[in-house]
Structure 1
Amino acid sequence: MANEVEKRLTAPLVRALQEERLVLVATTDFETGGPNVSAISWIYALDEKVIRFAVDNRSRIVENIRHLGKVVINVIANESTYSISGTAIIKEDRMAGVPLKLALVEVTVQEVRDAMFYGAKIVTEPAYEKTYDLRAAKKLDNQVLEVMKK
């Protein structure tokens, strides 16, 4: 159902954001003032008000958050698409215990909007596959997830 607005994540959305999934993160570009959208998969909802995600610490997302601190996370889950707005901080410039140079971002949820257009539902969620060593990917994913959960 379109146009529902909440101040926190619902329980099903928290569960959806505790599974590996593709999401889009939108920030405001610190140089141009225009939108910047990136796809990520390292994301985890700690609870109904806090979401964490990891990105390369050289990512444009990091610099944009340092300047403005506002983000929108778009997630497709539970037969709909959601726009999650919040205030973000760089919790860690470099995540300890992870071999890549990743920043840990923490988002305080301010608004969750069901952004699905009227009279429709999502019947197939986006899927992706990793194109590098699956064993290495699983190990890295577990390392990143453990840090995000702390």
Structure 2
Amino acid sequence: MGKGMDKLTPELVELLNGEVLVSLVTIDKDSKEADLGVISWVKASSDGTKVKFALGHKARSAENIQAEPSVTLGLIGAGSCYAVKGKGTVSDIKDGTMKYRIVTVDVESVDDVIFYGGKITTEPAYEKTYDADLAKKLDDEVYELLKD
């Protein structure tokens, strides 16, 4: 796929619109050090210029993005590993089964960052270990919020 793209390819848009694990790197608002989290409620715009994701309303990552909007999203899939960089904006609190904040990232660059000669042959998989009905309810609610 190459380096230095300014938006997500259609293949990466499709990856982000499935159930995928995404690494989230923000700048800690106090220490100014890189802070790593993992998210799964993620959607990409069809044109590949925006990525939206949901966080709990008290998430440290949301506070970090409000203080310093630089965000890096790490993706594993579509045969490689990608760093998606951009600037994030954080919504007001959205009320539902739980309280959420929606982060919208304006994509600035997409780089293939896998080591030379590497290729992803198996994508990461995960399962939700809490109540299945609650998981479905939360997923349905959040993905509806991410549509906007």
The answer for the alignment partner of 2:22 in structure 1 is 23
**Residue 28 of structure 2 aligns to which amino acid in structure 1?**
D
CA shift digits 1:85-144 (9 cap, x unpaired): 000001x22224x21111000000000000111111011111111111112201210110
Count, aligned residues: 147
1:1-150 equivalences in 2 (<5 Å)? 4-47=3-46, 48-90=48-90, 92-96=91-95, 98-150=96-148
**Residue 109 of structure 1 aligns to which amino acid in structure 2?**
V
**2-side partners of 1:54 and 1:93: how far apart?**
12
CA shift digits 1:58-82 (9 cap, x unpaired): 1111111111111000011101010
Q: TM-score, structure 1 length as denominator? A: 0.94
**1-side partners of 2:18 and 2:136: how far apart?**
13
**Residue 53 of structure 1 aligns to which amino acid in structure 2?**
F
**1-side partners of 2:130 and 2:13: how far apart?**
28
Give 1:13 deviation, angstroms: 0.3
Q: TM-score, structure 2 length as denominator? A: 0.95
Any unmatched runs of 5+ in structure 2? none
**Residue 32 of structure 2 aligns to which amino acid in structure 1?**
G
Alpha carbon RMSD of aligned pairs, Å?
Answer: 1.1
